[in-house]
Amino acid sequence: MIPAVHRNGIGGENAAYCSPSIRATNSSDATVEELVIGIEYMATAGKSLAGGTVTPYADIKIRRQDTQFFYQLAIADCKGLEGQVTVVRCVYSTGEDCSVHLS
């Protein structure tokens, strides 16, 4: 789900921030028309909240993936970053709710 994180920033250490990319893969037998996930990011093994995102995806074809990039989090160091995912909405192109098929 979070295949890479990047440490970015211009200037001194205080300007640095951690930025994850978020990947969604459609392993079903139908196109995912709309997927919206919420992620709460925790730093240092769940000890402090590092930020959160609501990430929308659209039209993810069968056996394909989509990646959203560069959400700026409130931490400078990406080490130990974890995310807790909540599915806000998931709909197949048939109109069926696909959130019941997610694990």
Yes or no: domain 4-101 corresponds to CATH 2.60.40: yes
Per-residue pLDDT reduced to its tens digit, 8-49: 665 555 567 788 888 889 999 999 999 999 888 888 766 778
The enclosing H or E element of 20 equals strand 17-25
Token pair in block for residue 45: 């093994």
Pairing of strands 65-68, 17-25: antiparallel
Domain ranges of the chain: 4-101
pLDDT for res 18: 80
Q: Tell me what percent of the residues of the chain surpass a pLDDT of 90.
A: 31
Which residue pairs from 97-100 have beta carbons closer than 8 angstroms and sit at least 24 positions apart in sequence? 98/28, 98/30, 98/32, 98/35
Alpha-carbon span 2 to 91, nearest angstrom: 22
pTM comes to 0.77
